[in-house]
Amino acid sequence: MEMLSFKNISVVYNEDVAESLPVAKHTRSVLAANGLESKIAPSSHYDPQASLVITIGGDGTLLKASRFYAPKEVPVLGINLGRLGFLAQANTDEIEASVKKLINNEYRIESRMMLSAFSDRVLALNDIVIKGDTFSRTSKLFLYINGKVVCDYLADGIIISTPTGSTAYTLSAGGPVLVPGLDAMVIVPICAHTLTARPLVIPANEEIKITSCNTCSKLKMSADGQDTIDISSDDCVVIKKSATEAKLVILEKENNGFYAVLREKLQWGVAPER
């Protein structure tokens, strides 16, 4: 079992959420009461020397931290202040119990697949999204897999997702849910202007290339809905599985398996009340 290092704990809070700093301070005091020293840092100023990161915020805060710390192989644990918190492991009323579990080795560290674009200059734990930069117009996007033409989309955009991200934007766009341990990628067009455009699930070792027509407007690409860059319409974007993996701390507790979380937080398969 891979073990955590408590040598340099960083408690990262979301500056845009007013209550996150008080919760971060409370987390630090709980750690201190259990003999563990930690530092508090905003999500805009990470500690490159951290050995364990505890994020205070929503899934977005955890995703941002994971992209920074994944190349350093630093595990991340999420405390949820957001609406859903699908990736987070605890709510604010569970901080004391969560710290106890860390000390008692009641956890596991999961390696999660990430996506890479532009030779790992762009990393994503959830998804990479390509859209046109004009709100009122669809874009013509061409999809290649392993250098072979698969199809072209007239759509608002296209999502390339990991299994971790399959419960996020991909799901909202009509994609399937993948168990995090699967070695696969999901390709989902956004509001495609055709009835035959459906999601694709492909092996993770395949290479995806997306291009546009020269007459189209410029494109925008985002990683996990956060890091956005402009792309020229005559550029091509190559997306593939990264050699870098994110490390997420999963606490051992009742109903914390993937299917239980799916049912609890997304109300998966729950029949409506009469």
Long-range contacts (CB closer than 8 Å, 24 or more residues apart) made by 214-220: 216/132, 216/139, 216/140, 217/132, 217/133, 217/134, 217/137, 217/139, 218/132, 218/133, 219/130, 219/131, 219/132, 219/133, 219/139, 220/130, 220/131, 220/132, 220/133
Per-residue DSSP letter, 72: G
Q: Are 154 and 138 in contact (CB under 8 A)?
A: yes
Question: Which of the residues 16, 47, 59, 235 is marked catalytic?
Answer: 59
Q: Is residue 16 annotated as a catalytic residue, yes or no?
A: no
The number of residues in the chain equals 274
The candidate with the shortest Cα–Cα distance to 78, out of 267, 247, 218, is 247
At residue 240, the 3 state secondary structure works out as strand
Residues 92 and 57: their CA atoms lie apart, in Å, by 10
The candidate with the shortest Cα–Cα distance to 166, out of 137, 196, 124, is 124
Tell me whether residue 178 is exposed, middle or buried, using C-beta atoms within 10 angstroms of its C-beta: 0 to 12, 13 to 18, 19 or more: buried
Beta bridge partners of 219: 132, 231
Residues 89 and 173: their CA atoms lie apart, in Å, by 25
Contacts of 166 (CB under 8 A, 6+ apart): 175, 176, 177, 178, 186
The candidate with the shortest Cα–Cα distance to 168, out of 55, 246, 16, 59, is 59
Active site residues: 59
